[in-house]
């Protein structure tokens, strides 16, 4: 039986950007990759201090689509927040 944990373990075994990019392109469709990239873009916009309303207007989406990312970034233990801080350096 396949599980979420197995997928996480597979991701953790990849230790470089080139292999990660290839792996993602192998297991995700182009539209799934686009959705993932877009979600990360929303997180970056929020992290940089853009308001939810401004992000919604800029990307022509509802505020509901942004709320999840906002809640995640308010959590001081968030891995997404940690990654954004590290990538900012």
* Superfamily classification of domain 4-88: TrpR-like (1.10.1270.10)
pTM of model > 0.95: no
Q: Are 34 and 59 in contact (CB under 8 A)?
A: no
Q: Are 37 and 25 in contact (CB under 8 A)?
A: no
| Residue closest to 65 by CA, chosen among 84, 88, 46 | 46
Within 8 A by CB and 6+ apart from 50, the residues are: 58
pLDDT tens-digit map of 1-59: 579 999 999 999 999 999 999 999 999 999 999 999 999 999 999 999 999 999 999 99
All structural domains of the chain with their residue ranges: 4-88
């Amino acid at each position: 039986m396949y599980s979420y944990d197995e997928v996480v373990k597979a991701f953790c075994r990849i230790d470089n950007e080139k292999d990660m990019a290839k792996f993602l392109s192998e297991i995700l469709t182009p539209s799934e990759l686009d959705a993932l990239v877009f979600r990360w873009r929303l997180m970056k916009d929020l992290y940089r201090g853009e308001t939810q309303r401004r992000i919604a207007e800029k990307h022509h989406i509802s505020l509901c689509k942004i709320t999840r990312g906002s809640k995640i970034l308010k959590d001081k233990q968030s891995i997404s927040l940690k990654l954004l801080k590290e990538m900012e350096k």
